[in-house]
Amino acid sequence: MSAPRQVVGRYGTAVLDPDAPADLDARVLELLGGPSPADTEDLDPERTGVWIDPDDIAALGRQAVDTGVWVEEAGSGEPEEVGGWAAHDPSAPLPLASRFPEPEPGSGRRRRRPAPPPEPAPEPTGQDPRVQALSVPTEAIRSAASSESAPTGALRGERPPARPLITSVMCASGHPNPPDAPRCHMCVAPLTGELRRVPRPVLAVLVLSTGESVGVHGDVVVGRAPQPQAGGEPGMALLAVPSPTHLVSRSHLFVTTAGWNVLARDLGSNNGTVLVRPGQAPVLLATALPTPLYVGDLLDVGDGVTLRVEPPG
């Protein structure tokens, strides 16, 4: 078996397989920078200073010994492209592509992973980013502003609960009435006899001595600082009344509905609630059982605050 051939160049020595093609010596010698100074002094000045990594030379020598075939790096002919040769200032560093060319498929070398593109810088807004992170969306502000006009007792920013359905007899004008009503309590139109399930309408209006009024279509808590009561309907109304001497308890009176009826009971207040009904003597309102209310009734909770029961308008 023939001995391996050695090609000695200016920048190193390459070992070739004995069976490698003869013209491979010249190509390897060119990659090694031409003949070494010991062989010739006629060097191409344009190639002076071109540097080849010794590790790459050793790898190329091993490849030639193992396979006998040298794969030349492909280049486009331009000095800046991978695999090309460039005349340059010896004091200037070589481009990375020239020092470490990309390997061809099948060479056994790993390609360099391209660097990811830089992320675009955020556009300046003139506002501190910490303030932007804590800023409240405009929709939330509008929702909070609109909730200020919601009925008392409704949760801020939430839709009021739907009213329970109630069986009604309709008049010719479309007003709901109690099923046993002899006539429409809203107008003079005759009743049609049609029974329909409709959301509970306002059954009565509580007119306060302070001039305030509230329609009763569900639960109402009256007091100096009223609080929702356990077991009541969702969205109960909280009606605060003035009491300079604190004769009115925080949660003093509870008004509720049952079918088409309006009822009231005292919530165990300190001074009680007086029910004044036309033609009858005043009585204390019971705390155990709700008492039915009728149009014209007057409820006295103390400190000069009264509530009169009026028909719905």
Which of 46-55, 226-235, 243-252 is modeled with the greatest confidence?
A: 243-252
pLDDT > 90? residue 28: no
Other residues' Cβ atoms within 10 Å of the Cβ of residue 218: 23
Share of the chain above pLDDT 70, in %: 60
**Complete edge-to-edge strand list for the sheet that includes strand 176-177:** 176-177, 165-171, 191-199
pLDDT tens for each residue of 126-174 = 544 433 333 334 443 344 333 333 444 444 455 667 788 999 999 999 9
Report how far residue 215's alpha carbon sits from residue 102's, in angstroms, rounded to the nearest whole number: 84
pLDDT, residue 157, reads 52
Is residue 64 within 8 Å of 17, Cβ to Cβ?
yes
pLDDT, residue 144, reads 38
Q: Does the pTM exceed 0.75?
A: no
pLDDT, residue 58, reads 52
